[in-house]
Structure 1
């Protein structure tokens, strides 16, 4: 069910009514789909309040009306959940609660002789109650959505905020269920995702990465196809199977090992497509220790440096073609099983050279030669 209600379930949609809902806890500001909220600075809040006091139109507010149809989505026991307009609601509530004043250059269009710049709500209400009463009676354009389909709310939220549809990770997150809950809890609390990884999580990149690591832990080298990842999430929606529980336990131990070896905001972890490969490189072997991973990370830093040097080489006779192929596989089809297999094979081969000092010899001579693995 998905219905746009024409009439407000809370009566008039004035600022006073909406703010009363905020103060009495009837509005959920942090539903699952409210994850891209950007906090406004004071100047943005002041400009928005300026628009209302001076009777300019402001954008619509979208609320999820948590009726009986949406009980499964109501984790807060609130009447409403904000879909779009969170920062504007916060600005209204903050102004009424005297958390910021009007801007220093504020001009009241209704009467330029009335000076309101730098004044707080309480000051204006004391001296000019009619102006603040008009502010409180300002009619907001509000849309209420009544639905029990989380996917539709997710879709609406992103379309309103980004103008683009959901990506695959966001669609999997919208499926919900036990494994999704486990993934979201892990990425929000584990240092690997909160401290070590150096790429942003604007559109569930961390969720996507952990889903792929779980797939690798459970199946070994596998394709990150839409079908494989969706099946993993959907088959563990109602409950997490014992097999997956065991895989998650192993994954937690492995990630804990990596946490002790990687630096904060580690440059090796700047690319989402590389992390699954590193995970296989570390743990696709028996009896892995912290010392093993530290040695492998030392190798990866040197390997990463030499690949960058290889890109800068102009003479085609000096270019390491294996590095070129490694980079191509990383950029094209990195989600495919064959790409993971080929890159992992290259890493393992060069790591053996690294362990026997041949890698260092090649590095000193210029590992950026053709067929360097065959030369040793």
Structure 2
């Protein structure tokens, strides 16, 4: 494996404007765009016009002939510098203004605060030209290894605010492919009100895959912590693979089956799916088709309301000592341990008992059968989780 870097020459903003159709801003390892606030973007434009140094950008030389929306084949992919390029692109298209307090260091009489590039070109054409003639420091990366490019992306972003999901997304392999496909499932896209910022749906999808792997290997959920999820991604990338592509595809298919069952129960922008931790609990419960047949949305909504009522109970309330309310309080106490396998398993056991034991004359009947302080208890009938 090898990787080479060379500084590209004469990449002015004017030239970059012409190159944009053949630059892939969203290669698989790249983060989502739109992360910078308007003021941050305006500060970059300020630096360019005032001739200040800006950090280097890194482009990968395209190794495949992939066509972009313009119909042209991509020649480059952005490894690092996407947010900066987006800011430059926004200013070029007049969708970004200079900060109201913009100061031109060479001439205090310039009053260009709040101007777009078009307005700048009309009022101060020399400043517009300084922007367009600015040479962007671009390093071209050529490699015969996706793994080395992924590694470069991670190292370049090591000191930035890259989050765990973005870091995992930089790891090539079948886990990434499966995660990205699952993130498009209607259960997440349509039913979950969780905003898909910074790969939240991919975060959930990777947790589901981790569950399937752990159940296959250990017959129980260990955890869904960031380190565990990262290991899941490297397991299908490393040579030799610790998880084969075929195994990961089977996990993906199992996740799809469960999400399909959930999709038949929840509604669009369902408030019951507003918490990542609760979505994982539902996922674990719905892995069992028997649970899915009994768990209509009304019962799940009632469970949420009952556990909230239990948390508000005063210990002088006659219902406080009811074993069912004790189990609801126990469920609430496990909510903060969102990535702990034992806590997730216990929450599922309590929810499962509620649904399976639900009776028209006593909605809490099932919870009275749940033993206290037994985090390993799971349903003991033929439809075990």
Is 2:295 the counterpart of 1:293?
Answer: yes
Aligned residues: CA RMSD: 4.3
- Partner of 2:170, secondary structure, is helix
Post-superposition shift, 1:302?
A: 1.7
Structure 1 runs not aligned, ≥5 long: 372-376
**Please, which of 340, 350, 356 is the counterpart of residue 346 of structure 1?**
350
CA distance in 2, matches of 1:129, 1:333: 56
Q: Render the CA deviation track for 1:275-333: whole Å, top value 9, x for unaligned.
A: 232223234244954xx332xx3222222222222223342772643233223333237
What's 2:25 paired with?
A: 29
What's 1:177 paired with?
A: 173
- Partner of 1:82, secondary structure, is strand
Contact 1:52/1:58, CA 8 A, preserved across alignment: yes
What's 2:154 paired with?
A: 155
Contact 2:262/2:292, CA 8 A, preserved across alignment: no
- Partner of 2:335, secondary structure, is helix
Q: Render the CA deviation track for 1:139-171: whole Å, top value 9, x for unaligned.
A: 445555556424423423543541x6x63x555
Post-superposition shift, 1:184?
A: 0.2
Which structure's residues are more often helix, by fraction? 1
Contact 1:192/1:258, CA 8 A, preserved across alignment: yes
Contact 1:175/1:234, CA 8 A, preserved across alignment: no
Q: Render the CA deviation track for 1:159-191: whole Å, top value 9, x for unaligned.
A: 3541x6x63x5554433223421320221x222
**Please, which of 328, 332, 350 is the counterpart of residue 327 of structure 1?**
332
Post-superposition shift, 1:211?
A: 3.0
Contact 2:102/2:113, CA 8 A, preserved across alignment: yes
What is the number of residues matched between the two proteins? 348
User: CA 1:62/1:156 → structure 2, altered by over 3 Å: closer, same or farther?
Assistant: farther
What's 2:308 paired with?
A: 308
- Partner of 1:358, secondary structure, is coil
Contact 1:195/1:264, CA 8 A, preserved across alignment: yes
User: CA 1:171/1:72 → structure 2, altered by over 3 Å: closer, same or farther?
Assistant: farther
CA distance in 1, matches of 2:282, 2:95: 48
CA distance in 2, matches of 1:109, 1:228: 49
What's 1:374 paired with?
A: none
Post-superposition shift, 1:356?
A: 4.6
Structure 2 runs not aligned, ≥5 long: 373-385
What's 2:277 paired with?
A: 273
Contact 1:40/1:87, CA 8 A, preserved across alignment: yes
- Partner of 1:359, secondary structure, is coil
Q: TM-score, normalised on structure 1?
A: 0.71
CA distance in 2, matches of 1:244, 1:45: 40
What's 1:18 paired with?
A: 16
Q: Render the CA deviation track for 1:6-42: whole Å, top value 9, x for unaligned.
A: x51x2134433433433xx343211223323226676
CA distance in 2, matches of 1:93, 1:245: 38
- Partner of 2:358, secondary structure, is helix
User: CA 1:361/1:230 → structure 2, altered by over 3 Å: closer, same or farther?
Assistant: closer
CA distance in 2, matches of 1:40, 1:173: 19
CA distance in 2, matches of 1:121, 1:203: 29
CA distance in 2, matches of 1:58, 1:305: 56
Contact 1:333/1:339, CA 8 A, preserved across alignment: yes
- Partner of 2:363, secondary structure, is helix
What's 1:81 paired with?
A: 77
CA distance in 2, matches of 1:212, 1:125: 50
CA distance in 2, matches of 1:232, 1:28: 23
Contact 2:193/2:274, CA 8 A, preserved across alignment: yes
- Partner of 1:175, secondary structure, is coil
What's 1:66 paired with?
A: 61
Is 2:186 the counterpart of 1:191?
Answer: yes
